[in-house]
Chains A and B, each alone.
Chain A
Amino acid sequence: MTATEAPPGAPAPKAEPLAVRTPPARKRLVPYWLLLPGLLWLLVFFAAPLVYQASTSIQTGSLEEGFKVTWHLATYWDALGAYWPQFVRSVSYAAVATVLCLLLGYPLAYLIAFKAGRWRNLVMILVIAPFFTSFLIRTLAWKTILADGGPVVGALNALHVLDVTNWLGLTEGHRVLATPLAVVCGLTYNFLPFMVLPLYTSLERIDPRLHEAAGDLYARPRTTFRRVTFPLSMPGVVAGTLLTFIPAAGDYINAELLGSTDQKMIGNVIQSQFLRVLDYPTAAALSFILMAAILTMVTLYIRKSGTEDLV
């Protein structure tokens, strides 16, 4: 055998110059070329507009004379003072809808992940397919479903559910439409798939043998769920709640179609300030307050739930 090992510490064999190879520059630039177009798009059409928006929010002026940056921060105070009820409403409606989505969505995601068997694909299709009917049309359908004197309202009335919701301040009298309940119900419905899909993704990754192992180690089904399944599905819970809460807080369609003027959310205000009143500084300030509020809440929430690798 002609093989020898270079003895440790001995000079490199044959005293050949150590040809250290580094990847050619062309190769090292590949990721940047891949990133460039997409990132430019985001920078120009997402980040830059936010900066623009920031400058708009501190401008004063009118449509006729044009707007100028005057560092008029009072716009923020005025906007908050005038529209704080809508802010509170947006956050609380969105929070309630998110909790409802989690409560309703979890069993469905669990069903698809563990119980559906050969029906799994069909159930999946039924969760996703409604996306293809415009959600505005589907939201309008709730107008029919919750119509005054319709079967749903009749049933809720007969079961005294409406008495409870009246007492909670969610409904008023014998109707559901044009009440907070209708708006929350619409929000919940609209964003439910955004809860179910991430939940399903994280549940599906759980090895069913873990359930058996927990059972083997004397955990009852409820304990298994609390100690094994739910903790393992946390990434899905976090992603789902974010994907539900964020768009729900900024939504104005449900409040517009299913609510009355008393259920207007901050989205409605921004929309009308921007598209109807044409008070751009106020609309910009309101968007910024909403954005800051949501980003703060989201950051705190992600910190607390300890799943920062979500990004």
Chain B
Amino acid sequence: MAVRDTTAPPAARAPHRGLRWLRRHLVTLAGLATLGYLILPNVVVLVFSFNKPNGRFNYSWQRFSLDAWRDPCGVADLCGSLGLSLRIAVWATLGATVLGTMIAFALARYRFRARSSVNTLIFLPMAMPEVVMAASLATLFLNMGIQFGFWTILIAHIMFCLSFVVTAVKARVMSMDPRLEQAAQDLYASPVQTFLRVTLPIAAPGIASGALLSFALSFDDFIITNFNAGSTVTFPMFVWGSAQRGTPVQINVIGSAMFLIAVLCVVAGQLAGARRKRS
């Protein structure tokens, strides 16, 4: 047996301890710096939600105030637009998740002709700048004489969320052991029962992440909505408009609240999951 020479690569000369520490943790520090860059605007949004600006714009710090938090809907149309955005996001998520999951199952489970064309058609919307899709779809609606509004926004949102759901669900279904479904069939589960009791629960994390992504994409979408909303104002449209007219503190309140609710939901979910695992 060959004995490995542990000194084979000549030991680098020992640098200063601090330097060595820095070198060892360089990746961690860089990662944390990036994380800081990602979080900084959220911190600013949160801090400025307690601001009491002097003019119409909430860009520089004046003094602390809870006014906006006490009255988050105190600006005309703000909460209306928020409600509309949430409504669209829910329906778009539902539509995209159902249609996308069906496509994902077809792609992951069946061999059929035109498979690669279908794959391309799914991939293209993700490889297309939003502004191109937005302008094209708006051209179609204009030419068809369709009234812009809730429905056109919903149609557009389902369209661009669809591909993301397909990708998420397909990955999950493809990594699933086909023997699990065979085992279910072997254990007297009919095809329908197999799907409901085994396939669906195991694919659920993929479906859930696709749905979550759809919700976030739809709720936050501006470009496609901008082209296809007509005079309907969603929350991002409201913020866009306010960037021109003057930014009410309330948008910071809503933004921060959404952020905190999201963090709390995920943390609560994690804790619940950890507890269930432990017991």
Contact = CB atoms under 8 A, between A and B. Distances in A.
Interface of A: 30-32, 34-35, 37-39, 41-43, 45-50, 52-53, 56, 104-105, 107-112, 115, 121-123, 125-145, 147, 189, 192-193, 196, 218, 220, 242-243, 246-247, 249-253, 257, 267, 270-271, 274-275, 280, 283-284, 287-288, 290-291, 294-295, 298, 311
A133 B129 contact: no
Contacts of A31: 106, 109-110, 112
Top 7 closest A-B pairs, CB basis? A250-B129, A111-B31, A49-B136, A31-B110, A107-B30, A38-B99, A34-B106
Given A41-B162, A111-B28, A127-B38, A246 B220 contact: no
Tell me the dominant secondary structure on chain A's binding face: helix
Central interface residue in A48, A130, A274, by most chain B CB within 10 Å: A130
A42 B259 contact: no
B168 to A, nearest CB: 11
B93 to A, nearest CB: 14
Given A115-B27, A133-B258, A249 B129 contact: yes
Contacts, number: 264
B236 to A, nearest CB: 5
Given A104-B37, A134-B239, A137-B252, A290 B136 contact: no
14 contacts: A31-B109, A34-B103, A46-B121, A46-B125, A48-B140, A49-B140, A104-B30, A136-B236, A141-B40, A192-B37, A270-B131, A275-B227, A287-B132, A287-B136
Nearest to A47: B121
Interface residues of B, number: 87
A35 B103 contact: yes
A250 to B, nearest CB: 2
Interface of B: 8-9, 27-28, 30-35, 37-42, 44-45, 48, 59-60, 99-100, 102-103, 105-106, 109-110, 112, 118-133, 135-140, 142-143, 155-156, 158-159, 162-163, 166, 216, 219-220, 222-223, 226-227, 235-236, 239-240, 243, 247, 251-252, 254-256, 258-259, 261-263, 266-267, 270
B239 A136 contact: yes
B94 to A, nearest CB: 13
Contact of B8 (A104, A218, A288): A218
B239 A130 contact: no
A136 B240 contact: yes
